[in-house]
Amino acid sequence: MASITIRQLDDDLKRHLRLRAARNGRSMEDEARTILRDAASLEAGKIEARADAHRRAAPRGRHVADAPAREAGAAHAAGTKHILLVIGGGIAAYKALDLIRRLKERGLAVRCILTKAAQEFITPLSAGALSGERVFTDLFDPGSEFDVGHIRLAREADLVVVAPTTADLMAKLAGGHADDLASAVLLATDRKVLLAPAMNPHMWQHKATQRNLARLLEDGVALVGPSAGEMAEAGEAGVGRMAEPLEIAAAALSLIGHGEGALEGRRVIVTSGPTHEPIDPVRYIANRSSGKQGHAIAAAAAAAGAHVTLVSGPVNVPDPPGVAVVKVTTAQDMLAAVTKALPADVAVFAAAVADWRIAKPQANKIKKGAGGSPKLALTENPDILATVAHDARKRPRLVIGFAAETEHIIEHAKAKLARKGCDWILANDVSAAGGAMGGERNTVHLVTAQGVESWPPQSKEEVARGLIVRIAETLAGAKR
Ligand code: C5P
């Protein structure tokens, strides 16, 4: 950057500058810097005002491709969503660096604030290098105030993420404090705030922290984590670990509605829930599938703009909004409904279809009798996933299966990928310890011809959104 030498200015200018500097109690160099910054922010303000006028003048819904960037000097591409990442001071701060990468990978612009304590763990230099943007640290840094200012920092983001959120940051936010840049920005923002708490389990359990948490949730902040596990301190374990960066990124994406329209114009078929295979009019063979994962996928696909047909077995979860739901009972009905819904761009087979059905269901209730226990002859059900994956005429571009496994999860999923002829398998652990069956959370591994991607434990909605992002990328030709 070029430097200005005050000595080389002409005498009149020097005199004028000396007077202004004295009046404002600054050195002549600082006064010169201030004048330049004021001029630059005036210019930025004019650009912004012109952009606003331009936006207002544009017809509704038209994309204003040539609107100037929101911030002079920063490459804020049109449509890019902005995350303001407040990094608190805790050992989990190192994970915030990975979070910056994960957010950027997902097409988000990231600007960081580091608290004083955060700088004991990571440096502004590393956060700046990863985010590609200037990092902010001080409330009273004249550089920041003239350049961006804490109010602009607060307002320019689409979402504020605090990771790690320390007990102290929670207390400050709950109490409305504003004695440093992070807390001032959190108070000044009118955007959604996502907290990723990280602290020692005793601090998390403390009544004061739980009181602050209740207040913050009431105030409308969103929360991701903390999860249970080992702490940095030897021998300490419990709830307090910060959510994994991928989990935080997924929560951030869902809060800013990223991916809206990503499947616009696409047709998606999803199967969900169990099937019921009748034994007689009152008894049937079933399984523990709740339909939560399949329904979440249908909802996420619809939210991304797809035309979705959800073929669902008997479940107790509500129909997702904006989805055409076909309710079926047996595997044979499910196959018929899926075949009828073809063609499609994508088919996701999340249903837990019964492998066998009773060969001859009885028309009347089977009675206990002298003949002893009835012999129930079984016959194999059609494999809906394999049938569709091998349909030469109507195979969707992407056929995705699920593999519910209790052991050797990835090995079995790889074998299934080949056997069923599908493109991807989402393998999930349905052992009692995994808790996926009927539970709220799921740990999945995405198995493709290219390899295996293990996702962290997440809610079924997050798994669904993650899958939809991958589907949209693939259909757009970005990844396969
Ligand atoms: O063979 P397995 O049941 O483990 O395969 C699971 C995958 O196959 C799931 O995607 C499930 O929806 C699908 N499937 C199917 N029809 C069947 C059995 C399984 O579509 N009859």
pLDDT, residue 153, reads 85
**β-pair type (346-349, 267-272):** parallel
pLDDT at 240 over 80: yes
CA dihedral 279, 280, 284, 285 (to 10 degrees): 0
Q: Is 200 annotated in the active site?
A: no
Q: Is 353 in the pocket of ligand 1 (CB under 6 A)?
A: yes
**Does the pTM of the predicted model rise above 0.75?**
no
Catalytic residue among 24, 200, 212, 287: 287
Q: Which atom of ligand 1 is nearest to the CA of 425?
A: 10
- Three-state DSSP at 344 gives coil
What's the 151 CA to ligand 1 centre distance in angstroms?
53
Which carries the bigger pLDDT value, residue 14 or residue 148?
A: 14
pLDDT at 62 over 60: no
CB 226 within 8 A of CB 241: yes
Contacts of residue 157, defined as CB under 8 A and 6 or more positions apart, other chains included, come to: 82, 83, 84, 111, 189, 191
Which carries the bigger pLDDT value, residue 48 or residue 80?
A: 80
Average pLDDT rounded to a whole number, residues 309-322? 93
Alpha carbons 9 and 428: distance in angstroms, whole number: 71
Which carries the bigger pLDDT value, residue 6 or residue 314?
A: 314
Residue 63's pLDDT band, with cuts at 50, 70 and 90, is: very low
Q: Which residue has the tokens 């999930």?
A: 428
pLDDT, residue 398, reads 98
What's the 288 CA to ligand 1 centre distance in angstroms?
14
Exposed/middle/buried for 47, CB within 10 Å: 0-12, 13-18, 19+?
Answer: middle
Tokens read off for 237: 């374990």
Stretch among 157-166, 179-188, 413-422, 429-438 having the lowest mean pLDDT: 429-438
What's the 384 CA to ligand 1 centre distance in angstroms?
7
CB 167 within 8 A of CB 206: yes
Residue pLDDT, tens place only, 342-358: 999 999 999 999 999 99
Q: Which domains does the chain have, with CATH numbers?
A: 82-255 (3.40.50.1950), 267-361+374-475 (3.40.50.10300)
* Helical H segments across 58-166, by residue range: 93-105, 124-131, 142-147, 150-156
Residue pLDDT, tens place only, 442-474: 788 999 998 888 887 778 888 898 899 889 888
Largest Cα–Cα separation, the chain? 119
Q: Is 424 in the pocket of ligand 1 (CB under 6 A)?
A: no
Q: Is 403 in the pocket of ligand 1 (CB under 6 A)?
A: yes
Nearest-CA residue for ligand 1 atom 21 is 383
Stretch among 211-215, 388-392, 434-438 having the lowest mean pLDDT: 434-438
CB 439 within 8 A of CB 458: no
